């Protein structure tokens, strides 16, 4: 490495370290499954790139430390990592030392990774602990046998990532060196929090909390690491006051009902949350595990051609949010940045977001729950060739893990596993593998959770609870024609070669607008927006209001999603700049996006 490059990298790392005088992203990463005793492993690690994938031959898994320094949980492509290397990274290695605290004796020590892109292998003192496939799903490894002596040990993580393979989810990560079109800077390796915590062998593995508004109760479904005669006590609290309590012996498939008198509902208008304590006791009555959670009492379901929230039809005014950050790429610099994005969206008049081609941080969902912000959760499905069997094998277990991770959040009201599966051939016989995968994903999602599923956003619907279309028509007069009906009542905007026939599901245009407006200077020479950009601010406001008013006038419309919340690198069509500064008069923007047609609960 040349001296100039070494000095530049050193200065960048020094800057990153200065920015993090304490542990970066120090908050507990699972706000709905929180234990008080844990150890955050974010901060400075050592690393090395492995461009030839020869690290196994060179026994990097036995490393005591590498030459490079990186700030975890930021990916090496990001400025905040202190590395900022943006070319392709086929493989890389991480190292740090870990040590089990003395007071964890008698518990199982779990090593947790919230997100590592893509294929990871974890070693302690040169011994393989476990492997994981997935760009965004969390995983935990029991490392008790490797570190129970309480001494320092060498933790090494090997990562492989191939965004051009066609068999792994990448979302909007560019398959070319430069960002272009809808694709941006890549994320490789560790990009979410890494931590350890002690867990009893018979403690909780996870919990599924289902609100049952019609029967004024929550159904709590705990899962355990093992069974040894333990029992569980569940407390539902309103502030410090316990409003419901239930006990039960731990059994497989256990379901505990928490009946609530006069329940307070959760909605964007009143985002009330109940606290929940889960207390596991051994057969002698000793507490062996305690987990803090929370839940919102709300109901979401489809009835006819409308989506209902708390048994009333609800109009969705969503914005497309891609969750990219100038200095952190896929990772928000701070927890406050996650909250801020929601507040910016609400200030613009939106009541929620379609979380697009990325699995968002669990802390984002926490703030959405707290602030009353509706979301459609989506996978980073681009990069997965849905006609390929290996791609399907990779996609399904990760999607399952993501639904299980996030299904307790009241703010999530729909699942969108796929977006614009253009790789599907129009020929029906050749498209069989695609359609099979989409149907399998739809069925899997409904087996895991009760929320409606938008199978493929924008096109190639196979089986879906929500009917979604995309259009970036920029002329409001032509936009009207897009929503006309054929004589037989079918949608003019839908292509029968690409979609099954609608059966009257709630209809959404979940991508529109995308109007380019550069506030200041272009991000890059290839900066763009949809269509020909307006020449003046007044022309922008007129076009935006015209397009939105067309949607609001469609009688069968249940909601929309505007593209997009912020600029993302060269795609400069956001309501805000990439750095989150406003582009427009936000009072005028709010007046456009805060309108709701008559006949919906949120019109009241």
Q: Which pTM does this prediction carry?
A: 0.95
5 band by pLDDT with thresholds 50, 70 and 90: low
565 CB burial (10 A radius; 0-12, 13-18, 19+): buried
Last residue of a domain, one of 295, 325, 350: 295
Are 273 and 368 in contact by the 8 Å Cβ rule? The answer is no
Residue 32 in any domain: the answer is no
Task: Please give the Cα distance from 27 to 24 (Å, whole number).
Answer: 9
Task: Give the C-alpha separation, 418 to 464, whole Å.
Answer: 11
Lowest mean pLDDT of 106-120, 395-409, 493-507, name the range.
493-507
Q: State pLDDT tens for residues 518-558.
A: 998 899 999 999 999 999 999 999 999 999 999 999 999 99
Distance separating alpha carbons of residues 368 and 135, to the nearest angstrom: 23
In whole angstroms, what is the distance from residue 281 CA to residue 229 CA?
9
| Interacting residues of 591 by C-beta distance below 8 A, sequence separation 6+ | 349
Mean pLDDT to the nearest integer, 241-264:
96
The reply to whether 500 and 457 lie within a common domain is yes
Residue 499 has pLDDT above 90, yes or no: no
Q: Cβ distance 279 to 35 under 8 Å?
A: no
Query: Are 358 and 378 within 8 A, CB to CB?
Result: yes
Task: Let me know whether 247 and 316 are in one domain.
Answer: no
- What pLDDT, on a 0 to 100 scale, did the predictor assign at position 495? 82
pLDDT tens digit string along 319-338? 999 999 999 999 999 999 99
Q: Per residue in 120-159, pLDDT tens?
A: 999 999 999 999 999 999 999 999 999 999 999 999 999 9
d(CA 171, CA 356): 8
Domain holding 125, by residue range, is 3-24+37-193
Same domain, 289 and 316: no
- How many other CB atoms are found less than 10 A from the CB of residue 56? 13
Residues 556 and 492 occupy one common structural domain: yes
In a domain, 137, yes or no: yes
How would DSSP label each residue in 460-508? --SS-SSEEEE-----HHHHHHHT-B-TTS-BTT--TTTSPPP-S--EE
Q: Which own/partner contact pairs does 271-275 have at CB distance under 8 Å and 24+ positions apart? A: 271/296, 271/369, 271/370, 271/371, 271/372, 271/410, 272/296, 272/297, 273/369, 273/370, 273/410, 274/218, 274/236, 274/237, 274/238, 274/243, 275/236, 275/237, 275/238, 275/239
CA atoms within 13 A on the CB side of 447: 10
Alpha-carbon dihedral angle through residues 257, 259, 263, 264, given to the nearest 10 degrees: -40
Three-state DSSP class for residue 432: helix
The residue assigned the tokens 């763009």 is 528
How high does pLDDT run on average in the chain?
95
pLDDT band at 7 (very low <50, low <70, confident <90, very high): low
> pLDDT tens digits for 49-81?
999 999 999 999 999 999 999 999 999 999 999
| Backbone dihedral angles phi then psi of residue 367, each to the nearest 5 degrees | -70, -35
What was the pLDDT predicted at 339? Answer: 98
CATH number at residue 135: 2.60.120.260
- The number of domains in the chain is 3
Is residue 487 in some structural domain? Answer: yes
In-domain check, residue 198: no
CATH of the domain at 362: 3.20.20.80
Domain identity same for 64 and 107: yes
**478 and 461: one domain?**
yes
Give yes or no: residues 348 and 241 share one domain: no
């Amino acid at each position: 490495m040349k001296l100039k490059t070494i000095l530049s990298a050193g200065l960048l790392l020094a800057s990153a370290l200065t920015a993090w005088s304490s542990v970066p992203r120090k908050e507990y990463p699972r706000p709905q499954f929180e234990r008080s005793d844990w150890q955050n492993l974010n901060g400075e690690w050592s690393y090395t790139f492995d461009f030839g994938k020869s690290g196994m031959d060179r026994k990097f898994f036995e490393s005591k430390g590498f030459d490079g320094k990186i700030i975890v949980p930021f990916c090496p492509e990001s400025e905040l990592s202190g590395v900022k290397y943006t070319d392709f990274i086929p493989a890389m290695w991480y190292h740090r030392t870990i040590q089990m605290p003395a007071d964890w004796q008698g518990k199982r020590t779990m090593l947790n990774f919230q997100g590592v892109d893509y294929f990871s292998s974890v070693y302690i003192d040169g011994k393989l602990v476990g492997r994981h496939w997935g760009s965004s799903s969390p995983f935990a490894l029991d490392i008790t046998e490797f570190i129970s002596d309480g001494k320092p040990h060498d933790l090494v993580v090997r990562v492989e990532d191939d965004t051009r393979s066609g068999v792994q989810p990448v979302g909007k990560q560019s398959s070319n060196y430069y960002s272009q079109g809808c694709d941006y800077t890549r994320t490789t390796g560790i990009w979410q929090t890494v931590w350890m915590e002690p867990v009893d062998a018979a403690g909780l593995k996870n919990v599924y909390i289902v609100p049952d508004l019609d029967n004024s109760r929550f159904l709590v479904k705990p899962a355990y690491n093992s069974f040894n005669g333990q029992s569980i006590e569940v407390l539902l609290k309103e502030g410090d006051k316990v409003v419901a309590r239930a006990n039960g012996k731990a059994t497989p498939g256990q379901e505990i009902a928490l009946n609530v008198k006069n329940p307070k509902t959760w909605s964007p208008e009143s985002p009330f949350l109940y606290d929940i304590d889960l207390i596991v006791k051994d057969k002698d009555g000793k507490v062996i595990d305690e987990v803090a959670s929370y839940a919102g009492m709300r109901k979401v379901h489809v009835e006819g051609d409308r989506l209902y929230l708390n048994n009333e039809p609800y109009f969705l005014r969503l914005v497309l949010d891609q969750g990219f950050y100038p200095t952190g790429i896929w990772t928000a610099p701070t927890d406050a940045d996650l909250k801020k994005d929601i507040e910016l969206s609400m200030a613009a008049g939106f009541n929620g977001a379609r979380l697009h081609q990325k699995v968002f941080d669990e802390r984002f969902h926490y703030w959405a729950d707290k602030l009353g912000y509706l979301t459609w959760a989506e996978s980073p499905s681009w990069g997965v060739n849905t006609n390929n069997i290996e791609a399907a094998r990779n996609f399904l277990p990760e999607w399952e893990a993501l639904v299980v991770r996030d299904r307790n959040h009241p703010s999530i009201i729909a699942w969108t596993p796929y977006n614009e599966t253009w790789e599907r051939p129009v020929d029906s016989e050749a498209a069989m593998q695609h359609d099979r995968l989409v149907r399998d994903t739809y069925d899997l999602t409904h087996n895991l959770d009760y929320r409606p599923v938008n199978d493929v956003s924008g096109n190639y619907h196979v089986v879906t609870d929500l009917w979604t279309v995309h259009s970036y028509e920029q002329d409001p007069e032509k936009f009207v024609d897009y929503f006309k009906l054929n004589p037989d009542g079918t949608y003019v905007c839908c292509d029968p070669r690409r979609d099954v026939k609608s059966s009257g599901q709630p209809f959404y245009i979940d991508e529109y607008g995308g109007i380019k407006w550069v506030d200041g200077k272009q991000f890059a020479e290839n900066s763009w927006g949809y269509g020909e950009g307006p020449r003046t601010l007044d022309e922008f406001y007129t076009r935006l209001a015209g397009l939105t008013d067309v949607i609001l006038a469609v009688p069968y419309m249940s909601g929309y999603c505007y593209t997009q919340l912020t600029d993302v690198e060269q795609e400069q069509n956001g309501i805000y700049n990439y750095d989150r500064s406003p582009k427009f008069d936000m009072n005028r923007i709010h007046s456009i996006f805060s309108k709701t047609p008559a006949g919906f609960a949120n019109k009241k």
